[in-house]
Every structure is written in structure tokens, then in C-alpha cells.
Chains A and B, each alone.
Chain A
Amino acid sequence: MKRVSLLKLLAVGALLTGLGFGVVSCDGGGDGGGRAGGGFPRSETLYVGGSQWGDPTTFNPIVEPWLLSWPVNDRFTLMYESLISYNTLDGSFEPGLGTLVSRDVDRVVVDLNPAAKWSDGVRVTSADVRFVFLLGQRFPSAASAFALQFISDVQVEELSDGTERLAFVINKDDRNNPLVVLDLLQAIRIPPAHIFEQLLAEHNNDLRAVQALKLDHSPVISGPYNIEHHNSERIVLKRRDDYWGNDALHGGNMPKPRFIIHPIYKNNDHFATALQQGNLDISQTFVPRIWLRKRDGVHTWFDEAPYHLPGTILFLVINTTKPPLNDVNFRRAMAAAINYTDIKELAVSGYAPEMQPGAIMSHRLEAKYFSQEDADKYGVRYDPEEAKRILAEAGYQSIFRPDGTLDHMLDKDGNRLPTLSIMVPAGWSDFEAAVKIAEKGLRTAGIDARESPVDGGVYWPARPSGNFDILISKIAENVTPSLPWSRFEALMSSRNWAPVGGETPMQENFGRYNNPNSPEYNPRVGQLLGSVPTMTNDDDVRAAYHELNRIFMQDQPAIPLVTIPEQLYQFSDRNWKNWPTSANPYAPPNVPWVGVNTKVLWNLESAR
């Protein structure tokens, strides 16, 4: 009896489970290309990770950037392509839908590639380019409308061989910034105008109605891969064998992987595990302790420390309007109290070279603007004794408890200062670790600051509103042609200056440095930021950057903590090999779905 009932139970259980899967199985049909039951052979599939975290949303290239799903989001170019792309290794521009011809202070000129075609066979023309770059003139709320601050028109000229030559006219009345125009040319992806004009016509010229379309069923694109299927677990792309660039850009070859699958895991650790187990081929997530994974075939750019190339800088941004943070001596004391080596070794797994003071990286393309002499003369380095000395000299007093831990601080007049909080998004393990180490150093030196982990819901709004004491943030995240100008702009520009917590947020200079209405206002910062983009002489540019960096180091409106890779780049050679590395640098250390790195897809070799 007992035995029978147990068997029965198991049968019921199996039945219920089966039923459950039955329901699940039904769910798959919705957005697939009718491949139900089929699969994606491992030897023809590239598994990639780290560019999509939530459920896929929309693949419509003209919606707001934060809504987009991989591979249409960010600056990714697998479906919709940009005109040119930027090689972050040598600073050159490589052709995409177009080729960079010339640039000066008046215009940036690009030739459209005459071979470029949409997937429906229609030629890519100047109409497509004008559509997206000038969309803001028709719809001020268009996602690409901000481009009009930088360009006033796109002029078209037909060359004798039929090639269309486009001139992006610098908008001198507004931002007058040719540097950012170069950024735009490689960041803005071109959507097919003939499709979108038709959609707009069908929807009574209502942009929002067109933006509501998901465009996830065989959309008309120009790139080498098209969306095949997506659900909460993954996004699948399929190779377009008739991609125009196969002949025009890649000598008649096709990219090697027939499918690209992006699994959607919610946890960094899952990507690392999948990479290690050979279920993921490349990931731009943070994978700690890469040296442990060599035996599993997981590698990165360098084979030894620091493993990655630095790409951007992690800063502590300081609210310079709030006492005692409005005191430059206090800020410099803070900078001297933080152990940058600990941050490098613990928070980012040693994936960085030694940190230099200032906002210019001493590595890669920026190195030519870096001055070691200035850094040594004006910069503050880790020196706890120096930190205490600056504080004492400026009149601050730190009150320690008998056990040696800091209790509180007194200002120059002997008033008790409140504890400063360092805001960090909770759960971002590398940021949190960096802040913990900074907190430790600050407190030891007698500065009363505490880590304050907050949810994204507090963190993101705090940046533009200025409602924070100190917060940790990447500044100028992507390696773009406009670096390091864009980093200085994001750190120090008073162009849109607005008070903390006011009606208008500030999208740069979160710390409210250099208030134009204050007596200490330094107009030189704005002059330099305004003039660098139009400078043509390299020596002038270098001199200007040196001066900006000197001001930054002297005023210390933010504290650079550590350099971090632009994109974390880790790959497994168990299924695909011939990835770019420092020994084989045919492309920058980046994922093969962005700009110049797409050529990696043509160079991969199956390792099976």
C-alpha cells in the first residue's frame, strides 16, 4: 500500500511538472521567427553577455536611449550602423556607412559608402542621414534632437562618381564644438528614412505613436545581424548573409557566427560562471580574479596585471557648495587621505595601473596631454600625515575616541560638523568596495565621512540635482574622440549653472563647482572649456589641457580614485578563438558589437 501510494504521488508530481512545462512551451511562440523546436548549434553560435540586464523592451532606433534593448542600445552597431567608428587604440576613424574625409572648425565631411544598402535592397542615402540628424527640427522631443546644439545643417553634394558627400555644419551660434560632432558621428546610428517616413505618415505624423512600435519582427536594417527572437531569458540575432559590408568592407567574407545569443542573467556572478563553464564566449561584465580562470580558457587583453587597458576614471564628486566641502583645503585633505593602491587592488581586482592625480589619464591616447611635472607639483597623493597637516593648518579639529576611532570634527570656530555621507549605489560591488576603502582612509585621517549605500532611486536623481555631500560616479564613461575635453566639461563646466536642488537639474558638474555668481568665480575654466574644441594647433591644445588640469588639481572639485576599463573585456577561447589581445591587437579591447570591433566577428575562428 505504502509503496503504491508513493509511486502514485510521484506520477502526479511528474504530471504536474509536465503540465507546467507544457504551458511554458506554449509561451515561446510569441516573438520567435517560427523556429519552434529547432535550436542554435553551438559551433555556429556566439554567446555574449553584459549589455542587456532587464527584459528586452524595444528595438526601435528612434526611441529614448534608456529604453532600448541590445543590440540597438548604447553605441552598438550590429543592427543599425553609424557613419564612422572610432578606434580607441590609435585614435583613427574607420569607415562604416560612410568614410571620414576631412574636419575643420567649420564642418566635418563624410562620404557615404555607395555600396551601403538596407536589408530591403534600398540604397542608404543622404536622406537617411538627414532624417535622424535633423529630426529635432521637426520634433523637438526626438531623441536625437540634442545633435542640433552641435550641427546646424547637413549639406549634400553629389560627386562625379555618384558618391554622396555630406558636410556636417558646425552650429557656431550654439555649442560651436567640432569635437562633439565627431562623437556624434560614431554614436548616432542611422535608421532607414524611407521606412520611418512611411510610419510617420501612417500615424498622422505623431512621433510618439511611431516610438511606441517595438520593431522586433524582421525590421529593415543595414547591419550584419538582425533580431531573430527575444524573451526574458535571451536575445537571439541571426546573420544576414546579404549584408552589404561583406563585399564592400570585408573582402567578400561573411562573419563567422551564424547566431549571436545574449543570455539575460541578473547577477554579475552568473556571467562569470557561464564564462568559466564555456557557456558564454565574451562578456563585458566585471569578472574578478581573472588569473584564476586561465585554466578554463578565460582571458583578457593582457595576460598579466593589470589585465585590462584603462578607459575611464572613477571619481568621488564633491558638493562644493556645502561647508566644509566648500573649503578647497578640506577637499585637498580628503584627496590625501585616501589609499588609492588599496582601491586598485581590492575594488577593481587590480585591473588598473597606478592612479595619477588630476583628470587626465597618463595612458593611451590622452597621455600626450598629461604632464608628470604638473602632477607632481600640483597634485595630491596618498599621504595620511599630509592630510592631517592640511586639516590642522586650515583650522579643523578632529576629536578621536579613547579607542582611537574618530568621533566628530570641529570647524574653525569650534562648531561641531555633521557627518558627511558618501553616496554609492547599493549592490554595485566594485563601487561599494572603493567607497568603503575611501571611508576608511578619511576617518583614519580625522575626516568624518561615512559610506551611504542607496538604491538607484536615490542615487540617479541625486547627481543632477546636487542633493548629496559626496558621491561616487564614473565621469565620461565612453572612450570618445572628445576626451579628455568631455571629462573636464562633465567635471567643471558652469555653462548651465543652477543651484543645488533647484528647478533645473545640471547634467554636468554635479558638484556645483565654480559658481558664476560668486566672488571666487574663475572665468578661465569656462574660457578654456569653450576654446579647446575649436583649437587646431596641437601645442595650443596641450597648453590648454595642462592649464585645465592644473586648475582641477588646485581646486580639487572631485577626487579621481582609480582608472577602470572602458568596457570590461573577457573572452573564452574554448568555442571561438582569435580574439584581439595585446599580442594580437587587430582591434581594441572591446566587445564585438560596437563600432570598429564588429570586425572581430569576421576574424573569429571556430575552436571546435
Chain B
Amino acid sequence: MKLFKNLLKSPMFVFGASLFSLVLFAAFVVPFFYDISQVTRVGNPYDAPSGKYLLGLDHLGRDYVVLLLRGLRSSLYVGLLAGVIATVLGTLIGLIAGFKGGLIDDVLSALTNLFVVIPQLVLLILISTSIGESGRSLTLIAVIIGLTGWTWSARSVRAQSSAIKSKDHISLARLNGDGGIRILLVHILPYLFSYVFMVFIILISAGILSESAISMIGLGPVDTQSLGTILNDAKNNGALTDGYWYAFLPATGIIISIALSLYLINTSMDGVFNPRMRK
């Protein structure tokens, strides 16, 4: 609780959290007042913003507000799913590697290194190109991003857990005859909890950015709109050349808002939690 109060004192946290709340508000509350169930033609290609359609229409004459809200929801979904997968995988691998040490550590670290040095984008491209007709759903893309994006969290968690391992209370637990898994779960994980949460926050943002990246090269989800596919559509349908700013600026703004707000939350939490971790 005290931590939370400290957080509230940080202007960065307040700004970040407000921004993120705003994003969530747009994604989950606004649709109650603004019908987004239908993606349908309401005018001509790239009609300019008007009182009725605040952000104008896309190349198929569809309301950008509807597309962006739907896209935002998809992107949050991708970020969350990819973030959960990557965090769980990374935390598990990092914990075990850091705690067990020895050969297991070597093998797991090598596995982590492997995925660090093979660029994630390369893996995404290789997998995406081979998925056929039925594939490339939003969920599948989120899973792929999650499965390839855990290395960073594994490395960080490993460093943290191997530092904690040698602390006194762990040795005490060992002396008490506690098993490895129990020590991991009861004595180490709670200490890392705030850390893992921060990792999770960053991975959500990374997931959203990865999705937009592969959508931009035409390997995005085919079953729905996402912020990445909206940008890709804008790029492929002449929005840049013809200067239809409303085709790409709002989507860009939303992506940056998500990434920036999560980043701010993470950084401010880092400032609050870390002094304790260091000592």
C-alpha cells in the first residue's frame, strides 16, 4: 500500500496510468455508446472527418472510429496474450536457470541466447510465411509473438533469481529441508513478483509493437482489424501520397499512447521498487 502511495507521488506514474486508463476506456467503455459491431460502408473512400464521422472514412468508406476501436481491442488482446505467454515462459525458464544453476542453467541459458541472437522478426517471418489458408488468425499471431518474445524476461529473471538464491532466508529454507519447487514458489517468486509484473508490462507493449511490425510487411492477421493492419491498409492504399492524415495519425497515436503509458508505468515502478531490490 505504501508502495502504491509512493507510486502516486510519481508524476510519471500518474501520467502513464491516466493515459493507459484512457486507452482502456476507449477500448471497453466507448463501444457501449458507439456501435462498433458492424464494419460497413457509410460513405466514399477517404471522406474527410465530419461531425458524424469524427475521424473520417477509410479506403472502403468505413468509419475510422469503428475500425480504430476494433483495432485497439485486437491489439490489446494480442499484447495481453503474447505478454502472458512470454512472461510465464520467461519467468519459468529464468527462475529455474537461476535457481538450479549448473548444467540446467547452461542449457537454459543457451536456449535463451539462441532466441536472443535469432532476431524475433526473422522467426516471425519464417513462421508466418509457412502458415497457410486457415492460419494467421489474431490468436495465432499472438501465440507466435509470445513464443518468440520471452528471452528478455528469462534473462532478467535469471539474474534476479540467482542473486536471491544466495540470500540467507533461502539457505535457511534449505536447511529446513524444503524442496526445490517449494523454495522457488514460496521463497523466491514472491520476491520477484513486482519485477515479473514490470516485465509483463513491457512485454505487453512489445507484443503490440511486434504485431504492428509484421502487419506492416503484410504478414498480419487476416481475420480482423488490428492497429497494424489499419496502418498497413493506409500505406497500401495511397493515404500517404494523398495526404489523408486521418488514415494513419490516429492509429499511430494510439500505438504510441499504449507503448508510452506502459513504459512510464514500468519506469516509475522501477524507481519505487528498485531501491529495495538493490539492498
Contacts and interface: CB of A to CB of B under 8 A. Distances in A.
Q: Do chains A and B touch in the complex (CB under 8 A)?
A: yes
Interface of A: 267-269, 272-273, 276, 287-289, 292, 342, 345-346, 349, 403, 405, 421, 423, 426-427, 429, 433, 436-437, 440, 452-455, 457-458
Interface in B45-60: 45-46, 59-60
Given A427-B218, A429-B237, 7 more contacts: A267-B236, A269-B235, A288-B242, A453-B222, A454-B132, A454-B133, A455-B132
A269 B238 contact: yes
14 contacts: A267-B236, A268-B236, A269-B240, A288-B242, A289-B238, A346-B59, A346-B61, A421-B133, A427-B218, A429-B233, A440-B40, A452-B222, A455-B132, A458-B133
B44 interface: yes
Contacts, number: 67
Given A426-B222, A427-B236, A454-B132, A273 B40 contact: no
B60 A289 contact: no
Interface string B128-139: 010011000000
Nearest to A346: B60
B237 A288 contact: yes
Contacts of A289: 45-46, 238, 242
A373 to B, nearest CB: 33
Contacts of B235: 267, 269
A491 B218 CA distance: 30
B132 A276 contact: no
B132 A458 contact: yes
A349 B45 contact: yes
Interface size for chain B: under 10, 10 to 19, 20 to 34, or 35 or more residues? Answer: 20 to 34
B37 interface: yes
A345 B44 CA distance: 8
B176 interface: no
B182 interface: no
Contacts of A273: 240-241
B169 interface: no
Given A346-B59, A426-B218, A272 B132 contact: no
Nearest to A289: B242
B41 interface: yes
Contacts of A349: 45
A345 B47 CA distance: 13
A499 to B, nearest CB: 20
A436 B60 contact: yes
A403 B37 contact: yes
A209 B174 CA distance: 73
Nearest to B46: A289
Contacts of A276: 241
A274 to B, nearest CB: 9
Interface in B223-268: 233, 235-238, 240-242
Instruction: Please name the 9 residue pairs, one residue from A and one from B, whose CB atoms are nearest each other, closest first.
Output: A453-B222, A427-B218, A273-B241, A454-B133, A429-B236, A458-B133, A272-B241, A288-B238, A458-B132
A346 B236 contact: no
A291 to B, nearest CB: 11
A57 to B, nearest CB: 21
Contacts of A440: 40-41
Nearest to A339: B41
B60 A433 contact: yes
Contacts of A403: 37
Contacts of B218: 426-427
B220 to A, nearest CB: 9
A433 B241 contact: no
A185 to B, nearest CB: 38
Contacts of A346: 41, 45, 59-61
Nearest to B35: A403
B241 A457 contact: no
Contacts of A452: 133, 222
Contacts of A288: 45, 59, 237-238, 242
A433 B59 contact: yes
A130 to B, nearest CB: 44
Contacts of B60: 346, 433, 436-437
Nearest to B234: A269
Contacts of B41: 342, 346, 437, 440
Most B C-beta atoms less than 10 A away, residue of A268, A269, A272, A427: A269
Given A272-B241, A426-B218, A457 B129 contact: yes
B214 to A, nearest CB: 12
Interface in B125-167: 129, 132-133
Interface string B114-134: 000000000000000100110
Given A276-B241, A346-B61, A427-B218, A455 B45 contact: no
